Chain A
Amino acid sequence: MPVNRNETTGESVYISPSREEHEERVQKPFYETARELIRRNVSKESSIIIDVGCSDLVATGPLIEEGFKVVGLDLDETAVDKAKEFYPNANVFVADIRAIPLSIPEEHQKF
């Protein structure tokens, strides 16, 4: 994902892309390869894809549009806001996978 390092804290920082930049990155071959792996191994009906460190859903956003159930998790609030902007129907949350139960409360489900 597009990140930079905060020179003071040393933490990685998300760089907000424009919609055009986002759509360009979506087409990167390794993302398409990853999506193809998912299409072949995941059932649209009975499986949930958890995109850990989803950024702005650059990899799995197109899968949402194809009807897959995706839950995106990212520590970076700006990235999650961008994901919601690019994919309004997405289930995407600011979260640390190490600290949450892996079930999504019904009121937050958009499936």
Chain B
Amino acid sequence: MLDILEHLSWEDAVATLKQTKEMLGNHKIVVTMPNVTPYSPYTLIEAGTALTKGQRPEKGLLDKTHQILTDLAGHKRLFEEAGYEVEEMYSTSPFEDVTGDWEWKETRKTSGELLEERGSKLYKAYKILGRKVGPKVLATFKKGLSEQEAEALITSYQGVYLIKPKETQTAESS
């Protein structure tokens, strides 16, 4: 399910995964979903709105057809709610180094630290967009970036997962 679940509501995404589990039995699913890290959803929506003069863009993370906007921990919660567990996961975001020992709860902190280490212009973007900013500030900020760098702000970074049905524990008979 590559670039599929984010187009559904949270409830429909959970229902789709549950239904797939019932139909397929023993199987694994490769899932890709957009990852809002390291920006807060509120900031992203504001940035997206400003960038497109009142409309969400046609592509990228804020693609107007996306209904689920969450981070890696949110994706994991979605899978667990549907009865799946994550066997492998990766992030294509340049803000994260994800390994098998990924600490879900430290997503945002790690993102900022990595950006700072890399000293990129996008760190500046992160610092500015990490706060709530208005269109004027954003327009000023965009002047300092190349078109490619500005595009990166609305690029959809992805979580890539291999998930499998969680093994159900048989209740011990008393």
For chain B, the bracket of interface size reads 20 to 34
Which of B4, B92, B162 is the one whose CB lies under 8 Å from A53?
Answer: B4
What residue of chain A has the Cβ atom nearest to residue B35's Cβ?
A30
The answer to whether B92 and A4 have CB atoms under 8 Å apart is no
Is A31 part of the binding interface, using a Cβ–Cβ cutoff of 8 Å?
yes
| CB neighbours of A34 from chain B (8 A) | 2, 30, 32, 160
| Smallest CB gap from B34: residue in A | A30
Residues of A within 8 A of B120 (CB): none
Contact of A31 among B2, B64, B162 (CB under 8 A): B2
B interface, over-half SS: mixed
Residue of B at shortest CB range from A52? B1
- Give chain B nearest CB distance to A2 CB in angstroms: 7
Determine the chain B residues whose CB is within 8 A of the CB of A41 once the complex forms. 28, 162
Our count of residue pairs bridging A and B at CB distance below 8 angstroms stands at 56
Q: A4-B65, A30-B92 are in contact. Are A102 and B23 (CB under 8 A)?
A: yes
The one of A33, A53, A55, A97 in contact with B160, judged by C-beta atoms closer than 8 angstroms, is: A33
The CA-CA distance from A97 to B12 in the complex, in Å, is 14
Query: Contact: B92 with A37, CB < 8 Å?
Result: no
Q: Determine whether the beta carbon of B64 is less than 8 Å from that of A5.
A: yes
B-contact bits for A6-46, CB 8 A (1 contact / 0 none): 00000010000000000000000111011001100100000
B20 touches A97 (CB 8 A): yes
In angstroms, Cα B104 to Cα A77, docked, is 39
* Nearest B-chain residue to A59, judged by Cβ: B2
- Which residue of B19, B32, B65 is within 8 Å of A5 (Cβ)? B65
Known contacts A4-B58, A5-B65; A30/B160 CB under 8 A = yes
Smallest CB separation, A69 vs chain B (Å): 14
Interface residues of B (CB under 8 A from A): 1-4, 7, 16, 19-20, 23-24, 28, 30, 32, 58-59, 63-65, 88, 90, 92, 158, 160, 162
Pairs A-B, 9 closest by C-beta atoms: A30-B158, A53-B4, A59-B2, A33-B160, A30-B92, A29-B92, A12-B65, A34-B30, A30-B32
Residues of A near any B CB (own CB < 8 A): 1-5, 12, 29-31, 33-34, 37-38, 41, 51-53, 55, 59-60, 97-98, 102
A selection of 23 A-B contacts at a CB cut-off of 8 Å is A3-B7, A3-B63, A5-B64, A5-B65, A12-B7, A29-B92, A29-B158, A30-B92, A30-B158, A30-B160, A33-B32, A33-B90, A33-B158, A34-B30, A37-B30, A53-B1, A53-B2, A59-B2, A60-B2, A97-B20, A98-B19, A102-B23, A102-B24
Given A3-B65, A30-B92, A37-B162, 10 extra CB contacts under 8 A: A4-B58, A12-B7, A12-B65, A30-B160, A37-B88, A51-B2, A53-B2, A59-B32, A60-B2, A98-B19
